[in-house]
Amino acid sequence: MGVSKVPDGAPILDIDSLQVSLFTRRGVLPAVDGLSLTVSAGETVAVVGESGCGKSLTALAVMRLLPWPPARIVGGAVRFMGRDLATLSDRAMQRVRGKDISMIFQDPMSSLNPVVTIGDQLIEAVQSHNDVSRKEAEHRAVELLRQVRIPDAERRLHDFPHQMSGGMSQRVMIAMAIACGPKLLIADEPTTALDVTIQAQILDLMKELQANFGMAMIIITHDLGVVAETADRVVVMYAGRKVEEAPVEALFERPLHRYTRGLLGATPSAMRRHSTRLAEISGAVPALSELPVGCAFQNRCPDAFDRCRAERPALMPLMPGRTAACFAAEEELSRHVAAVGT
**Tens digits of residue pLDDT in 144-202:** 999 999 999 999 999 999 999 989 999 999 999 999 999 999 999 998 878 888 889 99
- Does the pLDDT at position 326 exceed 80? yes
pLDDT of 246? 98
Average pLDDT for 25-50: 96
Q: What is the pLDDT of residue 105?
A: 87
| Secondary structure of 207-273 in HEC code, one letter for each residue | HHHHHHHCCEEEEEECCHHHHHHHCCEEEEEECCEEEEEEEHHHHHHCCCCHHHHHHHHCCCCCCCC
Q: Is the pLDDT of residue 121 over 80?
A: yes
The closest alpha carbon to 252, from 265, 243, 241, belongs to 265
Q: Domain ranges in the chain?
A: 13-100+182-341, 108-181
Of 66, 57, 49, 8, which is closest to residue 31 (Cα–Cα)?
57
Query: What is 13-100+182-341's CATH number, 3.65.10.10, 3.20.20.70, 3.40.50.300, 3.40.50.2300?
Result: 3.40.50.300
pLDDT at 270: 43
